[in-house]
């Protein structure tokens, strides 16, 4: 009977140990599943962190590009404004030059008419004195005109004033070889 009890005890112990081993294996599997879920979660977390880092780097890169583009835009705006100002300045210069050209043409025509009238009245005598007188009138007239125009619109007046010490004529109105003297020389 003792052997039978021992046999039953060992048999029951074996069943108990197998049951505990089975429970232990189930617990290990559950723990592994939990750990595998944790590793999946960890992998997802690391992937999301990498994605966030990549997005931040892309955002920083795009901000830098945006700043560069803004600088380029500012540069071209300033350049366009400069060109616009230069265009306006040159248009104003053209208008002033046209205005001065018209005034000069009128002055030339008036002086030539006066010169021819005076020549007809005097009969061609003392042509050089008449030319000198009209050259002086022309200089006076040009000086008056140049004072009426803005200084920027009359750059030639400055050069005329600088060249007054030379012996060469500064304009067509100064004594020298003129159409009138050429005509007089051709007549004689």
Cα 132 to Cα 116, 122, 127, distances in angstroms: 14, 15, 9
Taking CA atoms, 2 is separated from 13, 21, 104, in Å, by: 16, 28, 149
pLDDT, tens digit, 9 for 90 and up, residues 147-162: 665 544 444 444 444 4
Q: Are 156 and 92 in contact (CB under 8 A)?
A: no
Mean pLDDT of 137-155: 62
Question: In angstroms, how far is CA 98 from the centroid of its own chain?
Answer: 30
User: Rounded to an integer, what distance in angstroms lies between the CA atom of residue 81 and that of residue 85?
Assistant: 6
pLDDT tens for residues 13-50?
A: 899 999 999 999 999 888 888 777 777 788 889 999 99
Residues 93 and 155: beta-carbon distance below 8 Å: no
Quick check: helix, strand or coil at residue 178?
coil
The span from the CA of 7 to the CA of 3, in Å, is 6
Return the domain boundaries, the chain. 2-187
Treating both helix axes as pointing N-terminal to C-terminal, what angle do 179-187 and 2-122 enclose, rounded to 10 degrees? Answer: 40
Residue 135 φ then ψ, to 5°: -65, -40
Portion of the chain with pLDDT greater than 70, in percent:
70
Check residue 129 and give its pLDDT: 67
């Amino acid at each position: 009977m003792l052997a039978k009890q021992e046999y039953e005890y060992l048999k029951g112990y074996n069943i108990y140990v197998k049951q505990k081993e089975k429970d232990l294996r189930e617990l290990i599997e559950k723990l592994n599943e939990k750990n595998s879920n944790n590793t999946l979660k960890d992998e997802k977390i690391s992937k999301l962190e990498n994605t966030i880092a990549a997005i931040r780097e892309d955002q920083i890169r795009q901000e830098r590009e945006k700043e560069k583009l803004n600088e380029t835009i500012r540069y071209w705006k300033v350049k366009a404004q400069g060109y616009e100002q230069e265009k306006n300045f040159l248009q104003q210069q053209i208008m002033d030059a046209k205005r001065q050209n018209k005034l000069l043409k009128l002055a030339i025509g008036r002086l030539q008419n006066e010169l021819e009238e005076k020549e007809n009245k005097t009969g061609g005598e003392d042509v050089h004195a008449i030319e000198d007188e009209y050259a002086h009138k022309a200089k006076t007239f040009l000086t008056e005109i140049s004072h009426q125009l803005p200084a920027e619109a009359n750059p030639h007046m400055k050069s005329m004033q600088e060249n007054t010490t030379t012996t060469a004529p500064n304009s067509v109105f100064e004594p020298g070889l003129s159409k009138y003297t050429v005509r007089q020389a051709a007549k004689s």
